[in-house]
Structure 1
């Protein structure tokens, strides 16, 4: 009888630990997915602010950052902080519409996309260290006017988001 009771108790503890680990991993993945989505939204919002004077809503981005700070690993948090710093480095020139050319946008966009890719790789490696690093940004960018950028890896033409 004692062996049965010990077995039930041990099984309960192991199940509880597995459930907590699974819950934590799910929360981390959700938080990282929110960072990727919100970073893309902020990047497009900065472009709309520059081109059309639209307001940028930072609240969802800050919520996503706060969530990553709560559940993310140090490497994931550092990568999110780098992305946030890139936004801060470029926000004034686009919100105040002082950027003078598409080249300024291209440089800022490239930094944002590099920071996003670094974040994605940090998150992937944290979730499963067997993942390989990615080298392509997750969102295809349209070519700048007058540039000769090729097709995205899907073989389809990039969508026209120049209004964004």
Structure 2
């Protein structure tokens, strides 16, 4: 009987180790899947943002582009709402609000390129806020803001019209 006790104890400890290891591994795997779905949803939103933004810019430039299909943009925004943290969702909706405002400006007011520079500024600020929120959500170490556009500032000499 004394010989059985150490073997049984070793077996129980091994079984507990397997159960705990499986539990912890499953938790890590679950977190990784959630993080991947968050990243994918944010990437999709940025892809759809590019489509909408380019459409608005063409409209503001005086072109009469084909009507835009808003369904992909709305789908991307909804998916972000499903899988992301509340702060990230809030910045996504703030970006959506600025898109609405820019859309109304270019459609109703028929703005030109000069006004577009002013109209797009809140849109780009909301985009930058969204990018920073996503960075913080996916990796809390990303506290420092990074530049989110490569466009030179509006007061850069390159934007001056040369006669």
- TM-score normalized with structure 2 length: 0.80
Equivalent position of 1:11 in the other structure: 21
2:118 matched to 1:111? no
Moved more, 19-28 or 33-42: 33-42
DSSP-derived class of the 1:33 partner = helix
Structure 1 27/17 Cα, relative in aligned 2: closer, same or farther at 3 Å? same
TM-superposed deviation, 1:68: 0.4
Contact 1:99 1:105 in 2 (8 A): no
Distance 2:52 2:130 in 1: 15
1:32 alignment partner in structure 2? 42
The answer to whether the 8 Å contact 1:35/1:64 transfers is yes
Partner of 2:91: 79
Change (3 A) 1:143 1:119: closer
Check 1:30–1:41 CA distance in 2 against 1; reply closer, same or farther (3 A cut). same
Equivalent residue number for residue 69 of structure 1: 81
2:51 matched to which residue of 1? 41
TM-score in terms of structure 1 length: 0.79
What stretches of structure 2 of length at least 5 have no aligned partner?
1-10
User: Is 2:137 aligned against 1:126?
Assistant: yes
Matched residue, 1:59: 71
Q: Please report how far the alpha carbon of residue 100 of structure 1 lies from its aligned counterpart in structure 2 after TM superposition.
A: 3.2
Q: Secondary structure at the residue paired with 1:23? A: helix
Q: Which has the higher helix share?
A: 2
1:79–1:119 contact (8 Å) kept in structure 2: yes
**8 A Cα contact 2:38 2:84, kept in partner:** yes
Is the 1:49–1:56 Cα contact (8 Å) retained in structure 2?
no
Alignment RMSD:
2.2
* Correspondence 1:82-101 to 2 at 5 A: 82-96=94-108, 98-101=109-112
Per-residue displacement from partner, 1:55-97 (whole Å, max 9, x unpaired)?
Answer: 122111111101100111111000000000001112123234x
Task: State which structure, 1 or 2, has the greater radius of gyration over its C-alpha atoms.
Answer: 2
